[in-house]
Structure 1
Amino acid sequence: MAACLLLVLTLASTAGATFRFASYYADHMVLQKKPAGAVVWGYGEAGANITVSLSKDYKVIMKKMAQVEEGSEAWKVVLDPMPHGGPYSMKAEQHSREEPKNLTLRDIYFGDVWLCSGQSNMAMTVSQIINASKELLEAPLYPYVRLFTASLIQSKVELQDLAKIDLQWSIPTAENLGHGNFSYFSAVCWLFGRSLYETCRYPIGLVESSWGGTPIEAWSSGRALQECGLPGDARRFLRPKLVSGPETPSVLWNAMIHPLLNMSLKGVIWYQGEANTVMNTDLYNCTFPALIADWRRAFHAGSDGQTQPLFPFGFVQLSTVRRPQQDDSFARIRWHQTADYGYVPNQRMPNTFMAVAMDLGDEHSPYGSIHPRDKQNVAYRLHLGARAVAYGKKGLVFQGPYPAKVMVDGARGLINVTYGQDILLLHRHDRIFEVCCSPQLRRSAQKPCQWVPAPMVSASSHTVTLSSPGCRDAITRLRYAWAEWPCEYRQCPIYNRYLLPAPPFVMDSLH
């Protein structure tokens, strides 16, 4: 009922032809720098002419003209691509039959704008993470990392603008970074943006739009859901615990993503998937790539082509929750987050990057073990991926070791797993590798796979050798870290020399 009321109020406010910028244009904001042109839009009197001027040091350096469209009562301009820096002021003037009106925004910078979205692990604030006091104390040292947070709103129809804002564009402070539990501002988003600033040394704009306990279906447009054979109606799925937020298809896409489409972006980071361990789990290898592709098309179109059609999209692979595990739903979601490749970028998920987090379990988190407090390592791993994928840093290793070749020595009962990069073996583990002992004939008869541990025997700089007792002539599959809680905190057995963990995998048709 509240969402419907908000929708009515939002539509009514645009109908009044009040001359204004759209909701997320304000003092202190960051606009996307070149090579993109920043999109600026707002509302006005139908048919009125709009002039948008950009000034620095009281000198006008750019003017753009627009006209308010009939029906939507919206106007939009695309600024010429600008180098990073500032501060600038921006004035919008309306010329119509009425008295001329003008609006001015100040302390505007050009830099890179990143959208941060997902569920509660994205929504966790800096005050909830480890070393929170230190992180909050240092917040004012980064005045050129600017923050914005959308409110928790859902809608049955696509909204043109945000109905409500929790945190208007702001300079970071201890107060707005640690406002409250699972409120503004996102720790992962902040730490990621801060790391980007330390690398790039120019302004970073961070836009948070996240809601705890929400499945991917709520963040997906009807188009994306239909690609995966899911209904786009208001069907609800009652699920325990992990789904505590809105789960109706598209309601968060409609209210918290669609209004942002005109914004020129550098990229997106995403932390979501826990809710889908109890809802459409084995469709996630479709719904997640479909969401990425759909968001890319929509932001590219909404920004008049200024947001790149394959803009960088980073995500966090799920951490841990329970032990002993009750099922393999977390392992399956981790696999499906990569479209069943095990690594990114890949053919189905180009220009993406991933932070592996299965080794960051936090059994004693006061917010529940589903909410690990080490968001610094999450953000660091995302930052490495962004530098390599989004910023083109050549030769930068941003993901842990992944198998390049697996050879089965049936006569000796051994399996050699050869990785594509140097490995660092922290310790031997007797149960983290498993083999399927069901013969191929039984698999084709749809009998369940019998997974048994394959203990680690030895290791070299690139290869781990496993034993396979009882499976000498019937090994058909191999998997690694296929558990909800596969290892202790930062103690999985296999890392690379940069201490990035090897991601989980499952391989078929071994020879």
Structure 2
Amino acid sequence: MLLSFAAGASELSLPSVIGDSMVLQREQAVPIWGWTSPGQKVVVEFAGQKRMATADKSGRWEVRLKSLKASAEPRELVIEAGARRVLTNILVGEVWFCSGQSNMEKPIGEMGGQKPCVNWREELSAAEFPQIRFFKAARVASNLPAPNVGGDWSVCSSNSLEATKFSAAAYFFGRELHRELKIPIGLIESSWGGTRIEPWTPLSALEKVPSLARYAEGGRKGEKVDGQIPCRLYNGMVAPIMPFAIRGALWYQGESNCMDSHDGLAYTEKMRVMIEAWRAAWGQGAFPFYYVQLAPFAYFGTRPERVPSPEMLPEIWEAQTLALNIKNTGMIVTTDLAHNLKDIHPINKQDIGKRLALVALAKTYGRKDVEYAGPWFQRSEIRGDKVVLHFNHTDGGLVSKDGQPLNWFTIAGADGKFEKANAVIEGKAVVVSNTAVKAPKAVRFAWREDAQPNFFNKAGLPAAPFRTDSPVAKKLPTDF
């Protein structure tokens, strides 16, 4: 569906994302745009600024407010274009765009048979944060980029969170940022359960990559590829938000790409194409893009006809790790957050939001005192019948979270048969061995879909799954 958006001679129309109670991004130019009659003069006033534009032949106009300082003072934004619009209760702070499939979409309370989040009643009752605002985009699939998408800004409260079914992961991220930065936070959610990555990617980007040609063809023809039509959610739910000024984006998706198409490392390229396309279209440079590595789930255990191996999920984990080579990205690990291996939706969204916020605080907001990652594999060396694994993000030390011997390490010799390994922490390293493997060649950690390892740092963050025998071992980042 293509949404048309035009205004008559005396009308003034704005996109839904520009409205009462919104948060404007601080410290960068802020686009304000809309539609009126062609040639109409437009004046926008906010926070002592006065900006002017003239509507083009289609009636669209745009001004850019100069950099604004953070402000929790509710102010008015006035637009004059023949007609007059006054937007009220506007704050200035940090704005994040939050997208993905059902784990991003999942609210704090109950929805569609999904279990609510941990302590959901208490969380909702305590969710009174007038300086946190959120916008939830309507579900819209469009054949062409749409000028607008339904939605309204809401002031964060227990009632508004429950009524809108706003993303729990996004809310907990925003809450943590608000507590730490002590400024207004704006969250824009654009998510749709069960969706693959290709529908969130613009056609122009898919067309440039030969390996993604079949998805580009599906997008052009409006035909399903791997069960879904590419490009349509970008058109309907991402493009209409642009060029609203944001600090960065959060992404929580990949489950649907683990199933059916068995993407494996191909998912890295799909992430790169989508991220670079979003950045180019937004026109804000390489803004931060932080994402969630999927939690353990019994894909093979529950859907063997769709996922033929318990290593399909680890291959997606590796692809998500490899995507950290994309400029200004970050990833959180969630191997400890699956409450039930037969439930694809972790109910502890509090820690997911907090961990995303830790990455943002450290990498975007320059907080040197914040540890944002668990033990991160750097390199391995073979010492006789042992393999020594070296890690960073070890400040405070490496630990077994439950005090038991480290688990989910396996080791193999030249025959490639991986056996359960003994793993012992020695300073910033882990020494891995098995008496039956006299000449080890490779080690794997958490390399099964049901792996819930106990290897953490003292900051309470888990290590990411890895394998030393990866076909892309030399390309995997040793930090981010």
TM-score (norm 1): 0.82
The question of 1:417 aligning with 2:389 is answered: yes
Letter of the 1:361 partner, please give it: A
Q: Which of residues 156, 166, 179 is equivalent to 2:143?
A: 156
Q: Displacement of 1:494 after TM fit? A: 1.1
User: Structure 1 residue 402: deviation in Å?
Assistant: 1.6
Partner residue of 1:242?
A: none
* 1:26 is the counterpart of 2:19: yes
Please tell me whether the aligned partners of residues 374 and 456 of structure 2 are also in contact (alpha carbons under 8 angstroms).
Answer: yes
CA distance, structure 2, for counterparts of residue 351 and residue 175 of structure 1? 35
Instruction: Identify if the C-alpha distance between structure 1 residues 396 and 228 changes in structure 2 by more than 3 Å, giving closer, same or farther.
Output: farther
For the pair 1:293 / 2:294, whether they are aligned, the reply is no
Contact 1:228 1:286 in 2 (8 A): no
2: distance between equivalents of 1:363 and 1:288?
27
State the partner residue of 2:160.
176
Name the CA shift for 1:450/1:80 in 2 (closer, same or farther; >3 Å): same
Match of 1:244 in 2: none
For residues 228 and 499 of structure 1, what CA distance do their matches in structure 2 show? 42
- Give 1:369 deviation, angstroms: 0.8
> Counterpart in 2 of 1:137?
125
Q: How far apart in 2 are the matches of 1:381 and 1:80?
A: 32
Distance 2:315 2:296 in 1: 13
- Once the 2 structures are TM-superposed, how far is the Cα of residue 415 of structure 1 from its aligned partner? 1.7
TM-score after normalising by structure 2: 0.87
Q: Deviations over 1:298-341 (max 9, x none)?
A: 111xxxxxx3x11111111100221875521111111101226x
Does the Cα contact within 8 Å between 2:29 and 2:67 map onto a contact in 1?
Answer: yes
**Within 5 A, what are the aligned runs for 1:467-506?**
467-473=433-439, 475-487=440-452, 492-506=453-467
1:257 aligns with 2:250: no
Q: Deviations over 1:419-478 (max 9, x none)?
A: 222211234557611234345xxxxxxxxx43332232x3223222221344333x3332
Contact 2:197 2:253 in 1 (8 A): yes
Distance in 2, matches of 1:221 and 1:230, equals 12
Q: Which amino acid aligns with 2:248?
A: G
Partner of 1:445: none
Describe the SS at the equivalent of 2:156: coil
| Partner Cα distance (2:375, 2:174) in 1 | 26
Tell me if 1:507 matches 2:472. Answer: no
State the Cα distance separating 1:280 from its structure 2 match. Answer: 5.0
Q: Deviations over 1:37-91 (max 9, x none)?
A: 2110010000111011125xxxxx11110010113x2110000111111221011
Report the residue type matching 1:186 in the other structure.
S
For 2:87, the equivalent position in structure 1 comes to: 105
Query: How far, CA to CA, are the matches of 1:429 and 1:223 in structure 2?
Result: 51
Moved more, 219-228 or 169-178: 219-228
Whether the 8 Å CA contact 1:39–1:76 is kept in 2: the answer is yes
Could you tell me whether the CA contact under 8 Å between 2:44 and 2:52 is conserved in 1?
yes
2:420 maps to 453
Matched with 1:375 is 349
Structure 2 Cα separation of the partners of residues 313 and 238 of structure 1:
26
2:336 to 319, 342, 359: 359
User: Which residue of the partner structure matches residue 290 of structure 2?
Assistant: 314
Change in 2 beyond 3 A, CA 1:150/1:370: same
Q: Give the whole-Å Cα distance in 2 for the aligned partners of 1:260 and 1:385.
A: 24
Distance across 2 between alignment mates of 1:478 and 1:39: 51
Which of 271, 284, 290 is matched with 2:267 structurally?
284
Please name the residue that 1:216 is paired with: 197
Task: Tell me, yes or no, if the aligned pair for 1:430 and 1:454 is still in contact at 8 Å.
Answer: no
CA separation of 1:433/1:105 partners in 2, compared to 1, >3 Å: closer, same or farther? same
Structure 1's unaligned 5+ residue stretches are: 56-60, 95-99, 240-246, 301-306, 440-448
Describe the SS at the equivalent of 1:63.
strand
Distance 2:330 2:212 in 1: 26
Q: Secondary structure at the match of 1:259?
A: helix
Give the corresponding residue for 2:30: 38
Residue 51 (1) aligns with residue 43 (2): yes
Corresponding residue for residue 112 of structure 2? none
Aligned partner of 1:93 among 73, 76, 80: 80
Q: Distance in 2 between matches of 1:417 and 1:147?
A: 43
What is the identity, as a one-letter code, of the residue corresponding to 2:448? A
Instruction: Give yes or no for contact 1:266–1:312 (8 Å, CA) kept in 2.
Output: yes
Pick from 100, 105, 109: which aligns with 1:123? Answer: 105
> Structure 1 residue 157: deviation in Å?
1.0
Counterpart secondary structure, 2:126: helix
Q: Provide the C-alpha distance between the structure 2 equivalents of 1:227 and 1:129, rounded to a whole number of angstroms.
A: 39
Letter in 2 for 1:363: N
Decide whether the 8 Å contact of 1:29 with 1:109 is kept in 2: yes
* Matched-pair contact (CA < 8 Å) for 2:7–2:35: no
Question: What CA distance in whole angstroms lies between the structure 2 residues aligned with 1:482 and 1:251?
Answer: 34
Distance 2:262 2:33 in 1: 38
Matched, 1:350 2:327: yes
Corresponding residue pairs, total: 443
The 1-side partners of 2:433 and 2:418 are apart by 14
Provide the C-alpha distance between the structure 2 equivalents of 1:415 and 1:80, rounded to a whole number of angstroms: 56
SS at match of 2:249: strand
Name the amino acid aligned to 1:403: F
Deviation (angstroms), 1:292 = 1.5
Contact 2:387 2:443 (8 Å CA) reproduced: no
Give the CA deviation at 1:380: 1.1
